[in-house]
Amino acid sequence: MPPKSVLFVCLGNICRSPSAEAVMKKIIKNQSFSIHLDSAGTANYHTGGPPDERAIFVGKSLGYDLTALQARQVNQQDFYEFDVIFAMDENNFKDLQKIKPTDATAQVMMFDKTAIADPYYGDVQDFKAMFLHIEQASQNWLQKWCGGDNHE
Ligand code: 4NP
């Protein structure tokens, strides 16, 4: 069964996690279930701002709409409100563990075994590669949640 809610977390919440939110939103759009999706950053550098313009631009070219998203910082409440919190890389994962309340109900996990590379200091090609990696990881989760004969 898919989780009811998923939060994607990266560092700035302007490149990787809003992109993952947009990709997963589109992927589950035509499914028979819905998942509440959101994204946040471990840092507050970009709070209130839009996604990186390169993420918006490359996302649009691949059919994803990131224009309505607004950066925010992850907070303690998130560890109770979301079933699953996906870290985009190991640093995000470690930072989440540091602030995770002891009685948190969310499961904090890496989004993929391989970190989603931070494209912030890269170019448009790095953003393209980021989207492809996110698409693959999203499909893997969908398969894990819904695929096969597993009715758990
Ligand atoms: P993100 O990328 O964590 O994928 O949103 C970054 C965004 C901003 C910064 C670093 C990474 N920054 O240093 O401002």
- Cβ atoms of 128 and 117 within 8 Å: the answer is no
- The reported pLDDT for the residue numbered 151 is 47
- Cβ atoms of 39 and 7 within 8 Å: the answer is yes
Whole-angstrom distance, CA of residue 116 vs CA of residue 98: 20
- Cβ atoms of 71 and 38 within 8 Å: the answer is no
Instruction: Given the residues 15, 16, 38, 52, select the one marked as catalytic.
Output: 16
* pLDDT tens digits, 5-35: 999 999 999 999 999 999 999 999 989 999 9
Instruction: Given the residues 52, 89, 95, 118, select the one marked as catalytic.
Output: 118
Q: What does pLDDT average to over the chain? A: 96
Q: What is the pTM of this model?
A: 0.96
How far does residue 13's CA lie from ligand 1's centre (Å)? 7
* pLDDT tens digits, 90-106: 999 999 999 999 999 99
In this structure, the residue with its CA closest to atom 13 of ligand 1 is 12
Share of the chain above pLDDT 90, in %: 95
- pLDDT band with cut points at 50, 70 and 90 for residue 150: very low
* pLDDT tens digits, 64-79: 999 999 999 999 999 9
| Protein residues with CB under 6 Å of any ligand 1 atom | 10-16, 41, 45, 118, 120
Whole-angstrom distance, CA of residue 20 vs CA of residue 88: 9
Residue 16 designated active-site: yes
Whole-angstrom distance, CA of residue 2 vs CA of residue 24: 12
- The reported pLDDT for the residue numbered 30 is 87
Whole-angstrom distance, CA of residue 21 vs CA of residue 18: 5
Domain covering 5-146, topology: Rossmann fold (3.40.50)
Domain definitions of the chain by residue range: 5-146
How far does residue 72's CA lie from ligand 1's centre (Å)? 12
